[in-house]
């Protein structure tokens, strides 16, 4: 019995020794495979499989954060596996072999695949964009303006005591209009709905009693905006989108001038009873005409700027237009998008177009520019190369010029400053989808207001450059037209929506602007990301608008038995000779002018609806 028991124990010990010997041989064999020259390793240490990723990670320390995260996880995983390998003497050889093979295969596969993947560069960009999104935009760091006007004390000053004789109603109104209090309490009062297309133009009558709006549907509507009532709606006889409508300060009948994508400048005379007495063409550009301006001391004269680079003067008492200036650079025409007259020196006007300059001309001497303004110097890097002016206008006394640039910011120039210098810059909005306008707000131009491609309306305080108000102004996404009231703290806006929005300072609390940082970051990101690549989507969007508006007007005209209009008609020849241009502006008459004085295009007040 003892011998048998002894022999059995010896047999067990022998088997255990044999198993340990086999396990040691397998481990040594695997370690030799790991340190073979094909793997680039030279050490026989069990931790030699960790040295390779260390070297790789050192050479990639400047990679994206996601790369460093993967390397760190790789180190931790191998460290745990090697610790597990040291304590795995009692485990089966097959399990240990599977663990070692996983350690050898998984890190090399994942790290090499990530470092050589063609998508790794895009991943780095996304990580950097995410990091930059955490930074606060510079415009939000601007010093916030303080309130300088309070309602209750001003009302008491106006009604009580000796000072009531000094604080007139006009002074009270102007101080209220230019106060931060009214800007921060603007809210939507109602929408004026009568158009069947995007509203591109808004203009108040000089006394602020009426509002005129022009649209892609080729109609102009005259509103009694205080009660939200449509007074007159008439067909302009333009062939393409109406871009501008302006009241002329002439006594008697209402006179409204309009311009369009077809290049025509037209004048309509409306009677007090609501009928159109006259609708005729004053002149025509060879390309689209975007803006008009009316001279304060000569209300019968209208200046127009077109994409043919020409400024025309139209006198409603004459039958022909006068050629004022032809803007050229290096022998080529500069398409013009904006024109505005000096409020005091009426012989001066400024234009902006498809380059970075705002030019000032004198009608008495247009052979050369009077002044030029742009936001950078020639010695600086051409950061603004390829940008152009979408809108430029004077302030209330003509001492400053405000210019909005596409895919850039808004700049304020002093008329006495040299070229390449600006006084203020206003950031946060995005101007890339349409020919977007910009305007002063307040009787003394205390604020700057502009629309944006994000669908919001931005207000900046002029001196501090801080954003003091941001409100959603268009559900379709773009606000391109703003019209402050000439006397009261009201403002009307329009864009891709088929309505006009009226804003009044009736909100009881100041805005929190909680979403403003996200809006500004998104605008900045889209501006830097899209860049020049945004041209194709913008052209596609404008083409869709044009086709949609054209088809709707064609259908409506057929229903009204007006026949068919050619929406693709050319607005003029391509000849660049100035003499031919004058002949074209004065002598060519469209066939539709034969019945200019008929009233067949009138829509009476009873057919107008608002909400």
Give the tens place of pLDDT for each residue, 250-285. 888 899 999 999 999 999 999 877 788 899 999 999
Distance between CA atoms of residues 251 and 256, nearest Å = 12
Domain ranges within the chain, ordered by starting residue = 15-133, 140-178+186-592
Q: Compute the Cα dihedral for 197, 350, 246, 395 and give only its sign.
A: positive
- pLDDT bin (cut points 50, 70, 90) of residue 113 is very low
- Identify the helix (H) or strand (E) that includes residue 461: strand 456-461
Pairwise pLDDT comparison (272 vs 206), residue with the higher score: 206
Residue closest to 339 by CA, chosen among 406, 375, 292: 292
The total number of residues shown for the chain amounts to 611
* Planar angle of CA 193, 196, 202, nearest 5 degrees: 60
Q: Compute the Cα dihedral for 177, 180, 186, 192 and give only its sign.
A: positive
Indicate if the pLDDT at residue 178 is higher than 80. yes
Pairwise pLDDT comparison (192 vs 379), residue with the higher score: 192
Phi, psi (degrees; rounded to nearest 5) at 325 = -155, 150
Distance between CA atoms of residues 550 and 242, nearest Å = 12
Residue closest to 191 by CA, chosen among 171, 219, 211: 211
Residue 393 contacts residue 440 (beta carbons within 8 Å): yes
* Mean pLDDT of all residues in 121-143: 56
Residue 429 contacts residue 404 (beta carbons within 8 Å): no
DSSP H helices in 35-119: 48-59, 65-86, 93-116
* Mean pLDDT of all residues in 190-194: 92
Integer angstrom CA distances of residue 68 from 8, 45, 127, 133, 336: 57, 26, 12, 20, 52
Burial of 305-317, coded b for 16+ CB within 10 Å and e otherwise, reads bbbbbbbbbbebe
Residues above pLDDT 70, as percent of the chain = 63
* Mean pLDDT of all residues in 341-351: 93
Burial of 48-72, coded b for 16+ CB within 10 Å and e otherwise, reads bbbebbeebbeebeebbeebeebbe
Distance between CA atoms of residues 144 and 302, nearest Å = 40
Secondary structure of residue 169 in the 3-state scheme: helix
Indicate if the pLDDT at residue 484 is higher than 80. yes
What DSSP state is assigned to residue 136? P
Half-sphere exposure of 212 (CA within 13 A, CB side): 24
Integer angstrom CA distances of residue 218 from 118, 368, 556: 51, 36, 11
* Mean pLDDT of all residues in 580-606: 43
Task: Tell me whether residue 301 is exposed, middle or buried, using C-beta atoms within 10 angstroms of its C-beta: 0 to 12, 13 to 18, 19 or more.
Answer: buried
DSSP H helices in 178-278: 180-184
Residue 164 contacts residue 157 (beta carbons within 8 Å): yes
Count of other CB atoms within 10 angstroms of residue 8:
10
Indicate if the pLDDT at residue 192 is higher than 80. yes
Count of other CB atoms within 10 angstroms of residue 117:
11
Indicate if the pLDDT at residue 416 is higher than 80. yes
CATH superfamily of 140-178+186-592: YVTN repeat-like/Quinoprotein amine dehydrogenase (2.130.10.10)
Its pTM stands at 0.69
- pLDDT bin (cut points 50, 70, 90) of residue 310 is very high
DSSP 379-400: TS--TTTT--EEEEEE-TTSSE
Q: What are the respective helix, strand and coil percentages of the chain, to the nearest 5?
A: 35, 25, 40
- Min mean pLDDT across 193-202, 527-536, 576-585 is at 576-585
* Planar angle of CA 305, 307, 308, nearest 5 degrees: 95
Task: Tell me whether residue 98 is exposed, middle or buried, using C-beta atoms within 10 angstroms of its C-beta: 0 to 12, 13 to 18, 19 or more.
Answer: exposed
Burial of 384-406, coded b for 16+ CB within 10 Å and e otherwise, reads beebbbbbbbbbeebebbbbbbb
* Mean pLDDT of all residues in 398-409: 92
- Min mean pLDDT across 283-292, 343-352, 388-397, 553-562 is at 553-562
Residue 341 contacts residue 349 (beta carbons within 8 Å): yes
- Identify the helix (H) or strand (E) that includes residue 303: strand 301-306
Strand 301-306 relative to strand 289-294, pairing: antiparallel
Residue 326: both structure tokens together: 């032809």
Count of other CB atoms within 10 angstroms of residue 16:
10
Residue closest to 236 by CA, chosen among 501, 497, 593: 593
* Mean pLDDT of all residues in 182-209: 93
Give the tens place of pLDDT for each residue, 512-523. 888 899 999 888
User: In the structure, how many helices (H) and strands (E) does the chain have?
Assistant: 11, 31
- Identify the helix (H) or strand (E) that includes residue 503: strand 500-504
pLDDT value for 12 = 52
Give the tens place of pLDDT for each residue, 15-44. 555 555 555 555 554 444 444 444 444 444
| Residues in CB range of 417: below 8 A, 6 or more apart | 373, 423
Half-sphere exposure of 229 (CA within 13 A, CB side): 8
Task: Tell me whether residue 479 is exposed, middle or buried, using C-beta atoms within 10 angstroms of its C-beta: 0 to 12, 13 to 18, 19 or more.
Answer: buried
Indicate if the pLDDT at residue 215 is higher than 90. yes
Strand 332-333 relative to strand 336-341, pairing: unpaired
């Amino acid at each position: 019995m003892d011998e048998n028991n002894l022999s059995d124990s010896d047999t067990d010990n022998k088997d255990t020794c044999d198993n340990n010997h086999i396990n040691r041989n397998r481990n040594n064999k695997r370690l030799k495979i790991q340190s073979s020259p094909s793997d680039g390793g030279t050490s026989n240490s069990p931790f030699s499989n960790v040295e390779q990723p260390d070297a790789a990670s050192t050479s990639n320390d400047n990679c994206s954060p996601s790369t460093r995260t993967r390397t760190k996880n790789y180190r931790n995983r191998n460290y745990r596996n090697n610790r597990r390998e040291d304590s795995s003497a009692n485990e089966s050889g097959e399990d240990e072999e599977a663990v070692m093979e996983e350690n050898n295969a998984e890190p090399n596969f994942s790290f090499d695949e990530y470092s050589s993947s063609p998508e790794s560069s895009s991943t780095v960009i996304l990580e950097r964009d995410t990091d930059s999104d955490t930074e606060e935009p510079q415009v939000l760091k601007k010093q916030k303006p303080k309130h300088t006007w309070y309602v209750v004390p001003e009302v008491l000053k106006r009604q009580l005591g000796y000072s009531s004789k000094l604080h007139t109603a006009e002074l009270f109104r102007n101080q209220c209009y230019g106060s931060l209090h009214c800007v921060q309490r603007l809210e939507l009062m109602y929408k004026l709905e009568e158009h069947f297309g995007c509203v591109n133009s808004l203009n108040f009558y000089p006394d602020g009693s009426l509002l005129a709006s022009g649209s892609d549907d080729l109609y102009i509507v005259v509103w009694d905006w205080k009660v939200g009532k449509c007074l007159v709606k008439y067909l302009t006889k333009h062939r393409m989108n109406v871009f501008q409508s302006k009241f002329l300060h002439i006594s008697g009948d209402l006179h409204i001038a309009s311009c369009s994508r077809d290049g025509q400048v037209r004048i309509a005379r409306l009677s007090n009873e609501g009928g159109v007495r006259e609708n005729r063409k004053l002149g025509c550009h060879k390309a689209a005409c975007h803006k008009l301006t009316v001279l304060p001391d000569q209300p019968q004269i209208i200046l127009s700027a077109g994409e043919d680079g020409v400024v025309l003067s139209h006198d409603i008492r004459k039958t022909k237009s006068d050629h004022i200036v032809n803007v050229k650079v290096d022998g080529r025409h500069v398409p013009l998008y904006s024109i505005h007259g000096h409020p005091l020196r009426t012989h001066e006007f400024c234009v902006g177009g498809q380059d970075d300059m705002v030019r000032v001309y004198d009608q008495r001497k247009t052979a050369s520019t009077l002044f030029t303004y742009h936001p950078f110097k020639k010695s600086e890097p051409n950061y603004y190369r390829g940008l152009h002016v979408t809108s430029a206008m004077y302030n209330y006394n003509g001492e400053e010029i405000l210019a909005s640039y596409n895919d850039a910011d808004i700049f304020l120039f002093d008329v006495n400053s040299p070229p390449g210098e600006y006084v203020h810059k206003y950031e946060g909005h995005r101007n890339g989808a349409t020919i977007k306008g910009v305007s002063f707000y307040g009787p003394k131009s205390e604020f700057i207001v502009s629309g944006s491609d994000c669908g919001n309306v931005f207000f900046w305080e002029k001196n501090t450059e801080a954003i003091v108000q941001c409100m959603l102004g268009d559900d379709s996404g773009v606000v391109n037209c703003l019209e402050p009231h000439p006397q009261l703290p009201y403002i009307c806006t329009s864009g891709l929506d088929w309505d006009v929005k009226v804003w009044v300072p009736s909100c009881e609390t100041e805005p929190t602007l909680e979403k403003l940082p996200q809006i500004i970051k998104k605008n900045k990101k889209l501006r830097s990301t899209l860049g020049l690549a945004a041209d194709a989507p913008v052209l596609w969007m404008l083409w869709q608008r044009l086709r949609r508006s054209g088809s709707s007007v064609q259908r409506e005209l057929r229903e009204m038995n007006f026949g068919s209009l050619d929406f693709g008609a050319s607005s003029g020849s391509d000849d660049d000779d100035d003499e031919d241009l004058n002949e074209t502006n004065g002598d060519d008459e469209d066939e539709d002018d034969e019945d200019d004085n008929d009233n067949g295009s009138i829509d009476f007040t009873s057919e107008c609806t608002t909400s």
